[in-house]
Amino acid sequence: MKRRDLLTAAGLAAVGGSLTACSQPSSSDASAASGQKDGPARHWKMVTTWPANFPGLGTGAANLAKRITEASGGRLTVTVYAGGELVPPFEVFDAVSRGTAEMGHGASYYWKGKAPAAPFFSAVPFGMNAQEMNGWLYYGGGMELWRELYGQFNLVPFPAGNSGVQMAGWFRREINSLADLQGLKMRIPGLGGEVMARVGVTPVNLPGAEIFTALQSGAIDATEWVGPYNDLAFGLHRITKLCYYPGWHEPGSVLECMVNKEAFEALPEDLQAIVATCCQSINNDMLAEFSARNQQAMKTLVEEHGVEFRPLPDDVLAALKTATNETLAGIAASDPFAAKVLEAYQSFQQAAQAYTRVSEGAYLAARAGA
């Protein structure tokens, strides 16, 4: 199933003005849409990996559900269940795959135990940023590969959010050299956790709701989460004042909406188009929100809570990059489909970063030096 198949001319024509509601939902749009296409009302459940109403991530999932409901004029209503309300956070993939819920919202790097290639569709250490990821997924063949992978699990994936470049994480002690990482227990999922293991860190995979207590109790010594906006909401500054950057492990983390394949294919064409378009709308909206909120939250953390944002030492970043190359090579060697995806990913990244260097990179350097 290809992206262009989901957004056919016929489907878009059937949706008509209701697609506008995906970008700017309103009751008037919903009322107009309801008269355009008759059909039975469908009621879907969306399970998520996020805490209830959590800023950016949880609210992004809730906004997606609202937009689908309003854009469809109530013909497809979506009810959101936070992590643990209907299924545990890390059981979202299985719940949607078997049809316990029709939709799920999370991040594909949580499912590396299901499919080694899954994390490549969310975040690759030292990989592509949000802008480059969107280019690969929408216009570089990434979506076709993602749907080929998830189709094996009775799922249809959609990009449905992006946090942008994250922070490297919060540490209870200073990191002045690579030696300071030895023996640390750190909450870090996905490929980042595998890379950290290669430099002497013990990675721990915890859902967001358990991070504060684990860091406070000493069960973990460090944690990455997202960035200032979400980290402030979690109160991580109450435990430690040391936050390190850059987010080498998650340079542009794609959040996903996964839909049960049978449920999706049972929808009429216009509702399929509404789901696809609302996901793309949220994908854009979430990145814009993080771009606005992170700067505000960082100012609050520094000025009101005394947080120090520090760069990781050069030797740490160099070691992490070497370990990343080893990790990716090992995954590719162990799984043929992962090797196929990685080759496509790295080929696009190589071309993209050549342009990024002379566009965004050159501009930012010029702006900083002006």
Does the predicted model carry a pTM greater than 0.75?
A: yes
| 211-246 pLDDT, tens digit each | 999 999 999 999 999 999 999 999 999 999 999 999
| Pairing mode, strands 222-223 and 185-187 | parallel
Is residue 208 scored above 60 in pLDDT? yes
| 138-171 pLDDT, tens digit each | 999 999 999 999 999 999 999 999 999 999 999 9
Centroid of chain to Cα 285: 13
**What share of the chain in percent tops pLDDT 90?**
86
Is residue 290 scored above 60 in pLDDT? yes
Band of the pLDDT at 40, cuts 50, 70, 90? confident
Q: Which 3-state string (H, E, C) describes the chain?
A: CCHHHHCCHHHHHHHHHHHHHHHCCCHHHHHHHHCCCCCCCEEEEEEECCCCCCCCHHHHHHHHHHHHHHHCCCCEEEEEECCCCCCCHHHHHHHHHHCCCCEEEECHHHHCCCCCCHHHHCCCCCCCCHHHHHHHHHHCCHHHHHHHHHHCCCEEEEEEEECCCCCCEEECCCCCCHHHHCCCEEECCHHHHHHHHHCCCEEECCCHHHHHHHHHHCCCCEECCCCHHHHHHHCHHHCCCEEEECCCCCCCCEEEEEEEHHHHHCCCHHHHHHHHHHHHHHHHHHHHHHHHHHHHHHHHHHHHHCCEEEECCHHHHHHHHHHHHHHHHHHHHHCHHHHHHHHHHHHHHHHHHHHHHHHHHHHHHHHHHC
CATH of 3-162+253-291, one of 3.40.190.170, 3.40.309.10, 1.10.8.640, 3.30.565.10: 3.40.190.170
Average pLDDT for 271-285: 98
